[in-house]
Copies of this chain bind each other. A is one copy, B any other.
Amino acid sequence: MKTRNTLQKKIIMEAMEKLFHPTADEVFCEVSEEYPAISKATVYRNLNQMAEQGTLLKIPIPDGADRFDITVKNHYHIRCSCCGKVYDVDMPYFSNLESQITDAHGFDIKSHEIIFAGICPDCKLKIEKSTKKEK
Protein backbone atom coordinates (compact mmCIF):
# COMPACT_ATOMS: atom_id res chain seq x y z
CA MET A 1 0.00 0.00 0.00
CA LYS A 2 1.67 3.21 -1.14
CA THR A 3 1.19 6.35 0.89
CA ARG A 4 0.59 9.86 -0.40
CA ASN A 5 1.97 13.23 0.54
CA THR A 6 -0.92 15.28 1.76
CA LEU A 7 -0.94 18.77 3.17
CA GLN A 8 -2.19 17.37 6.48
CA LYS A 9 0.71 14.98 6.72
CA LYS A 10 3.16 17.82 6.17
CA ILE A 11 1.60 20.04 8.83
CA ILE A 12 1.46 17.20 11.32
CA MET A 13 5.15 16.55 10.78
CA GLU A 14 5.89 20.24 11.31
CA ALA A 15 3.96 20.16 14.58
CA MET A 16 5.94 17.11 15.66
CA GLU A 17 9.14 19.08 15.17
CA LYS A 18 7.89 21.88 17.41
CA LEU A 19 6.44 19.74 20.18
CA PHE A 20 8.11 17.53 22.74
CA HIS A 21 6.79 14.00 23.11
CA PRO A 22 3.27 15.11 22.32
CA THR A 23 0.13 13.04 22.57
CA ALA A 24 -2.07 12.78 19.49
CA ASP A 25 -4.35 15.32 21.08
CA GLU A 26 -1.54 17.80 21.62
CA VAL A 27 -0.56 17.45 17.98
CA PHE A 28 -4.18 18.01 17.03
CA CYS A 29 -4.34 21.23 19.09
CA GLU A 30 -1.12 22.57 17.60
CA VAL A 31 -2.16 21.73 14.03
CA SER A 32 -5.64 23.15 14.54
CA GLU A 33 -4.27 26.65 14.99
CA GLU A 34 -2.80 26.72 11.51
CA TYR A 35 -5.35 24.44 9.91
CA PRO A 36 -8.63 24.53 11.86
CA ALA A 37 -10.45 22.16 9.51
CA ILE A 38 -8.29 19.18 10.37
CA SER A 39 -9.91 16.20 11.98
CA LYS A 40 -8.57 14.38 15.00
CA ALA A 41 -9.01 11.12 13.12
CA THR A 42 -6.61 12.39 10.47
CA VAL A 43 -4.05 13.19 13.12
CA TYR A 44 -4.34 9.71 14.60
CA ARG A 45 -4.21 8.06 11.19
CA ASN A 46 -1.13 9.95 10.12
CA LEU A 47 0.76 9.55 13.37
CA ASN A 48 0.11 5.83 13.29
CA GLN A 49 1.10 5.58 9.67
CA MET A 50 4.36 7.40 10.27
CA ALA A 51 5.05 5.22 13.29
CA GLU A 52 4.56 2.12 11.15
CA GLN A 53 6.88 3.49 8.51
CA GLY A 54 9.48 4.27 11.14
CA THR A 55 9.37 8.03 10.60
CA LEU A 56 8.15 8.50 14.14
CA LEU A 57 8.32 6.56 17.36
CA LYS A 58 5.14 5.69 19.21
CA ILE A 59 5.69 5.55 22.96
CA PRO A 60 3.05 3.68 24.91
CA ILE A 61 2.52 5.34 28.26
CA PRO A 62 1.18 3.38 31.22
CA ASP A 63 -2.02 5.01 32.47
CA GLY A 64 -2.08 7.58 29.72
CA ALA A 65 -2.36 8.49 26.08
CA ASP A 66 0.34 7.29 23.72
CA ARG A 67 3.05 9.79 22.90
CA PHE A 68 4.93 10.32 19.67
CA ASP A 69 8.58 11.14 19.27
CA ILE A 70 10.56 12.47 16.30
CA THR A 71 13.68 10.92 17.79
CA VAL A 72 13.58 7.56 16.11
CA LYS A 73 16.87 6.35 17.54
CA ASN A 74 16.32 3.77 20.27
CA HIS A 75 16.16 5.29 23.71
CA TYR A 76 14.27 5.03 26.97
CA HIS A 77 11.74 7.19 28.73
CA ILE A 78 10.86 8.38 32.18
CA ARG A 79 7.41 9.43 33.23
CA CYS A 80 6.39 11.51 36.20
CA SER A 81 3.79 9.50 38.08
CA CYS A 82 2.44 12.75 39.42
CA CYS A 83 1.92 14.97 36.36
CA GLY A 84 2.37 12.39 33.60
CA LYS A 85 5.04 14.28 31.65
CA VAL A 86 7.49 12.13 29.73
CA TYR A 87 11.18 12.79 29.17
CA ASP A 88 14.01 11.02 27.40
CA VAL A 89 16.44 9.15 29.57
CA ASP A 90 20.12 9.72 29.02
CA MET A 91 21.30 6.13 29.34
CA PRO A 92 23.01 3.83 26.86
CA TYR A 93 20.69 1.58 24.91
CA PHE A 94 20.90 -2.15 25.66
CA SER A 95 21.40 -3.28 22.10
CA ASN A 96 22.07 -6.87 23.11
CA LEU A 97 19.41 -7.17 25.78
CA GLU A 98 17.14 -9.30 23.65
CA SER A 99 19.80 -11.91 23.08
CA GLN A 100 20.31 -12.29 26.84
CA ILE A 101 16.96 -13.90 27.35
CA THR A 102 17.32 -17.62 27.63
CA ASP A 103 13.82 -18.79 28.33
CA ALA A 104 11.30 -16.63 26.59
CA HIS A 105 9.03 -19.50 25.67
CA GLY A 106 10.38 -19.63 22.13
CA PHE A 107 9.51 -16.05 21.28
CA ASP A 108 11.07 -14.19 18.36
CA ILE A 109 11.96 -11.03 20.22
CA LYS A 110 11.75 -7.90 18.12
CA SER A 111 12.23 -4.99 20.49
CA HIS A 112 12.10 -3.80 24.05
CA GLU A 113 10.97 -0.76 25.87
CA ILE A 114 12.03 0.60 29.26
CA ILE A 115 9.88 3.05 31.09
CA PHE A 116 11.06 4.53 34.35
CA ALA A 117 8.63 6.01 36.80
CA GLY A 118 9.38 8.73 39.30
CA ILE A 119 8.59 12.21 40.47
CA CYS A 120 9.79 15.17 38.43
CA PRO A 121 11.41 18.21 40.08
CA ASP A 122 8.31 20.37 39.59
CA CYS A 123 6.03 17.89 41.31
CA LYS A 124 8.58 17.33 44.06
CA LEU A 125 8.26 21.03 44.90
CA LYS A 126 4.47 20.93 44.77
CA ILE A 127 4.38 17.93 47.10
CA GLU A 128 6.71 19.61 49.59
CA LYS A 129 4.50 22.68 49.67
CA SER A 130 1.26 20.76 50.17
CA THR A 131 2.87 18.66 52.90
CA LYS A 132 3.76 21.82 54.78
CA LYS A 133 0.19 23.10 54.52
CA GLU A 134 -1.18 19.89 56.00
CA LYS A 135 0.76 20.39 59.20
Contact = CB atoms under 8 A, between A and B. Distances in A.
**How many copies of this chain?**
2
Contact of A106 (B62, B115, B120): B120
Nearest to A64: B60
Contacts of A100: 91
Interface string A85-119: 00101110000011011111111111111111111
A81 B87 CA distance: 25
A104 B89 contact: yes
Interface of A: 60, 62-63, 78, 80-81, 87, 89-91, 97-98, 100-121, 124
23 contacts: A62-B113, A78-B107, A78-B109, A81-B110, A87-B105, A87-B107, A89-B101, A90-B101, A90-B104, A91-B101, A91-B102, A105-B120, A106-B120, A106-B121, A107-B120, A109-B116, A109-B117, A110-B117, A110-B118, A111-B117, A112-B117, A113-B115, A113-B117
